[in-house]
C-alpha cells in the first residue's frame, strides 16, 4: 500500500514565490527610478509609489492569469495592506524618535534625585525626575481609587439594573469621554480651587484625572459585562440568588479579567495627561508624598517644563522624561493585553 503524502495544492509553490519576489524587486526598482528621475521626492513618495506600483503589477498579473475579478481582489489586498502599514508607521516612528533621543538622558541618578537643588539647564548629572515619577504614580493612584468604583458601578447600573435613566446615562458617559482634558482642569479650577481650597495640590490634579478616567472605565466595563451570557444571570437567579448576590458571585467573577483591563485602559488614558496638571498641581520640583498639600510634580509637567527651558541639557531631560512616561504606559498596555487575552468568559 502506498503512503499518501499530505500536500497543500492551494499554497504558493517555490516557483510562485520566486515570481512574487521578482515582482517585489521590480516594483522597488521602478519606484527608485521614478523618484530619482521625476519631481516626486521624499519618503512618503517612495511609500505611496511603491504600493501603487505593486498593486498595479500584481493586479495586471492576476488579470492575465485568472481574469478581472481576481485582479481586483489582489489589487485591493495590496491597498489594504498599505493602509494598515500607514497606520502603524507614525507609532513606530514616534517610538523610534523617543528612544533615540531619550536614551542619552537615562542615567541611574535621574531615578534617585529630584529637581529641588537643580534647574533644567544644569548638566544632566545634577537632579533627576524622581519627584515626577512619584508624582505621576500618586496622582494616578488617587484618581484610580476614586474613579474605579464609580466607573464600575456606573457600568453595573447600565448592564444589570437597566433602570429608567440607562439611556441618558449611557449618552452622558459617552459624551464625557469626549471632554477635552483642559475642560476638566478648568472645571476643578473654578469649582474647587477658587471657591474652596485656594491652593494647588496633587489632589486637585487627581480630581481632574478622575473626571477623565471614569468614562473610559465605565464604557469598557459595560462592554465586558455585556459579554457575560444572560444564561448565567438567569441560572443564578433560578438558584434563589437575589440580583445583587448573582451579580457579585457570578457576573463580576466571570468578568474579572475584563474589568481589570478596563481599569488599566483607564490608567493608560490619564497617565500622560498634561493640561489639567499644568493648571492644578502647581508642579513642584521636590519629591512630595502628600497629595493634599504643596505642589506636586508629574512626568508630563516635568517634560513640559524642561522643553520650555530650551537649553540642550534641558531638552535631553525632556526626552528622557518622555521615554520614562512612554515605557510606563507601554507596560500598562502590555499588562492589559496580557490580561484580556486570557478568556473573559467561556
Partner 1 sequence: MTSSLSDVANAAAPRVPGTRALGTGLEARGVHAWFGSHHALADVSLDFAPGTVTALIGPSGCGKSTFIRTLNRMHEFIPSAAMAGEVLLDGKDVYAPGVDVTKIRLQIGMVFQKPNPFPSMTIGENVLSGLKLAQLKVDNKDDLLEECLERAGLWKEVKDRLGAHGGSLSGGQQQRLCIARALAVKPQVLLMDEPCSALDPGSTLRIEETIRHLSESMTIVIVTHNMQQAARVSDHTAFFLSDGGPGQMVEVAPTTEIFSRPKDKRTEDYVTGRFG
Q: Which of 29, 67, 149, 253 binds partner 1 (CB under 8 A)?
A: 253
User: What's the closest the beta carbon of residue 92 comes to partner 1, in angstroms?
Assistant: 38
Contact 152/135 with Cβ under 8 angstroms? no
Q: Which of 27, 246, 298, 340 binds partner 1 (CB under 8 A)?
A: 246
Q: Which of 235, 311, 330, 342 binds partner 1 (CB under 8 A)?
A: 235
**Is residue 163 a contact residue for partner 1 (CB under 8 A)?**
no
d(CA 105, CA 123): 10
Contact 158/149 with Cβ under 8 angstroms? no
Q: Which of 100, 226, 242, 311 binds partner 1 (CB under 8 A)?
A: 242
* In the block, residue with C-alpha cell 508642579: 283
* In the block, residue with C-alpha cell 468578568: 255
User: What's the closest the beta carbon of residue 226 comes to partner 1, in angstroms?
Assistant: 15
**Is residue 231 a contact residue for partner 1 (CB under 8 A)?**
yes
Give the residue with the Cβ less far from partner 1, 241 or 272. Answer: 241
> Residue 93 phi/psi, 5° resolution?
-65, -45
**Is residue 240 a contact residue for partner 1 (CB under 8 A)?**
yes
**Is residue 162 a contact residue for partner 1 (CB under 8 A)?**
yes
Total binding residues toward partner 1, as defined by CB under 8 A = 22
Q: Which stretch binds partner 1 (CB under 8 A): 16-24, 171-179, 204-212, 239-247?
A: 239-247
Q: What is the DSSP string of 330-346?
A: HHHHHHHHHHHHS-S--
Burial letters 172-187, b for 16+ CB under 10 A, else e: ebeebeeeebeebbbb
Q: Which of 75, 250, 262, 325 binds partner 1 (CB under 8 A)?
A: 250
The count of other CB atoms within 10 Å of the CB of residue 18 is 11
Picking from 23, 6, 101, 95, the residue whose alpha carbon sits closest to that of residue 57 is: 23
d(CA 162, CA 2): 66
Q: Which of 170, 256, 307, 335 binds partner 1 (CB under 8 A)?
A: 256
Give me the helices (H) in the chain, please: 14-37, 43-65, 68-102, 130-156, 166-176, 181-188, 202-227, 230-238, 243-246, 252-254, 256-271, 275-280, 299-309, 312-341
* Dihedral (Cα; 151, 155, 161, 166), 10-degree rounding: 100
Picking from 136, 141, 143, the residue whose alpha carbon sits closest to that of residue 324 is: 136
Binding map of partner 1 across residues 33-62, x = CB under 8 A, - = no contact: ------------------------------
Give the residue with the Cβ less far from partner 1, 197 or 243. Answer: 243
Binding map of partner 1 across residues 318-337, x = CB under 8 A, - = no contact: --------------------
**Is residue 237 a contact residue for partner 1 (CB under 8 A)?**
yes
d(CA 241, CA 235): 9
Q: Which of 28, 48, 106, 241 binds partner 1 (CB under 8 A)?
A: 241
**Is residue 312 a contact residue for partner 1 (CB under 8 A)?**
no
Give the residue with the Cβ less far from partner 1, 90 or 240. Answer: 240
**Is residue 346 a contact residue for partner 1 (CB under 8 A)?**
yes
Q: Which stretch binds partner 1 (CB under 8 A): 17-25, 96-104, 253-261, 264-272?
A: 253-261
**Is residue 227 a contact residue for partner 1 (CB under 8 A)?**
no
Q: Which of 249, 311, 330, 333 binds partner 1 (CB under 8 A)?
A: 249
Q: Which of 172, 239, 330, 331 binds partner 1 (CB under 8 A)?
A: 239
The count of other CB atoms within 10 Å of the CB of residue 195 is 8
Would you tell me which residues interact with partner 1 (CB under 8 A)?
A: 162, 229, 231-232, 234-242, 245-246, 249-250, 253-254, 256, 345-346
Amino acid at each position: 500500500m502506498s503512503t499518501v503524502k499530505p500536500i497543500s495544492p492551494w499554497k504558493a509553490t517555490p516557483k510562485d514565490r520566486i515570481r512574487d519576489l521578482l515582482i517585489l524587486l521590480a516594483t522597488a526598482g521602478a519606484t527608485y527610478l521614478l523618484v530619482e528621475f521625476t519631481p516626486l521626492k521624499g519618503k512618503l513618495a517612495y511609500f505611496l509609489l511603491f504600493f501603487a506600483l505593486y498593486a498595479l503589477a500584481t493586479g495586471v498579473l492576476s488579470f492575465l492569469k485568472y481574469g478581472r475579478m481576481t485582479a481586483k481582489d489582489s489589487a485591493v489586498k495590496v491597498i489594504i495592506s498599505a493602509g494598515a502599514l500607514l497606520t502603524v508607521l507614525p507609532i513606530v516612528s514616534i517610538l523610534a524618535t523617543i528612544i533615540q533621543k531619550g536614551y542619552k538622558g537615562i542615567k541611574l541618578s535621574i531615578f534617585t534625585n529630584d529637581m529641588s537643588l537643580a534647574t533644567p539647564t544644569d548638566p544632566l548629572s545634577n537632579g533627576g525626575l524622581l519627584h515626577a515619577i512619584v508624582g505621576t504614580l500618586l496622582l494616578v493612584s488617587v484618581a484610580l481609587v476614586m474613579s474605579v468604583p464609580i466607573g464600575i458601578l456606573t457600568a453595573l447600573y447600565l448592564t444589570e439594573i437597566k433602570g429608567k435613566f440607562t439611556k441618558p446615562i449611557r449618552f452622558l458617559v459617552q459624551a464625557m469621554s469626549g471632554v477635552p482634558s483642559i475642560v476638566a482642569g478648568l472645571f476643578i479650577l473654578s469649582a474647587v480651587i477658587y471657591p474652596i481650597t485656594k491652593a494647588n495640590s496633587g489632589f486637585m490634579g487627581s480630581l481632574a484625572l478622575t473626571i477623565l478616567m471614569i468614562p473610559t472605565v465605565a464604557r469598557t466595563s459595560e462592554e465586558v459585562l455585556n459579554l457575560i451570557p444572560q444564561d448565567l444571570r438567569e441560572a443564578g437567579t433560578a438558584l434563589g440568588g437575589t440580583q445583587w448576590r448573582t451579580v457579585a458571585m457570578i457576573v463580576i467573577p466571570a468578568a474579572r479579567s475584563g474589568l481589570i483591563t478596563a481599569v488599566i485602559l483607564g490608567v493608560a488614558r490619564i497617565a500622560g495627561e498634561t493640561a489639567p496638571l499644568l493648571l492644578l498641581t502647581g508642579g513642584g520640583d521636590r519629591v512630595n508624598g502628600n497629595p493634599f498639600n504643596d505642589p506636586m510634580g508629574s512626568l508630563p509637567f516635568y517634560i513640559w517644563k524642561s522643553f520650555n527651558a530650551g537649553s540642550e541639557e534641558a531638552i535631553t531631560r525632556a526626552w528622557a522624561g518622555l521615554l520614562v512616561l512612554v515605557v510606563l504606559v507601554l507596560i500598562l498596555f502590555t499588562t492589559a493585553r496580557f490580561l484580556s487575552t486570557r478568556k473573559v468568559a467561556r
